[in-house]
Chain A
Amino acid sequence: RKEVEQDPGPFNVPEGATVAFNCTYSNSASQSFFWYRQDCRKEPKLLMSVYSSGNEDGRFTAQLNRASQYISLLIRDSKLSDSATYLCVVNDRGNKLVFGAGTILRVKS
């Protein structure tokens, strides 16, 4: 079983739609969780950290479910500029992070 699993997609959605991605992780001792965004041929960039209580940043909402070992990302009112690959990231032992393979989002007009 992979340490971090994501649906690779692609998710094709119209502008203005709401879209959600889930990610499961295998290490129950993980304490830190993140979503990164990666544009084509660019480096990954931190989108948001995921906290136990859930957190929101504008149109983006992240949730953590420790019991089921999954995290989610909800994007409301999708924009063309949201098209990217979204990486689910979980900490392994110590300072290491484990990156999922990513979910591709394509927002179309």
Chain B
Amino acid sequence: DVKVTQSSRYLVKRTGEKVFLECVQDMDHENMFWYRQDPGLGLRLIYFSYDVKMKEKGDIPEGYSVSREKKERFSLILESASTNQTSMYLCASSLDRVRLEQYFGPGTRLTVT
């Protein structure tokens, strides 16, 4: 079974703090993704990566950055957390450019106060 893990299930941070969300997959997948999910808005893609050290902007990259130094690890960084970044953050991975089905981690519920 594919396993995608995320560093925290719940996180509370203050406005202006730098926040790191970590994601690790154990199936040697090439592609990794970060989404946020908000009620009524569905899943929105923040950033994704096709390979180590490669990253591409998704639909809502503002206020976020990412890092992929190793194939199995994809980090999402909130440079200066704001209250409108309170959300559920979901990491996903997929095998390659042919097998596109994504497998998700359990999510991190981030609250910024």
Contacts and interface: CB of A to CB of B under 8 A. Distances in A.
Looking at chain A's contact residues, the main secondary structure is loop
Size class of A's contact patch? Answer: 10 to 19
Given A34-B101, A43-B107, A45-B104, A95 B31 contact: yes
Interface residues of B, number: 20
Nearest to B2: A46
A12 interface: no
A46 B42 contact: no
Interface in B69-107: 90, 94, 97, 100-107
B48 A99 contact: no
B106 A42 contact: yes
B34 interface: no
A94 interface: yes
Given A43-B90, A102-B42, A97 B100 contact: yes
Interface string A71-109: 000000000000000010001001111011110000000
Interface in A43-88: 43-46, 49, 87
A95 B90 contact: no
Contacts of A91: 100
Interface of A: 32, 34, 42-46, 49, 87, 91, 94-97, 99-102
Given A87-B43, A97-B100, A99-B42, 15 more contacts: A32-B100, A32-B101, A34-B101, A42-B107, A43-B104, A43-B106, A43-B107, A44-B90, A46-B101, A46-B102, A94-B50, A95-B94, A95-B97, A99-B43, A100-B42
19 contacts: A32-B100, A34-B101, A43-B90, A43-B105, A43-B106, A44-B90, A46-B102, A49-B101, A94-B50, A94-B97, A95-B48, A95-B94, A95-B97, A96-B45, A96-B48, A97-B100, A97-B102, A99-B43, A101-B40
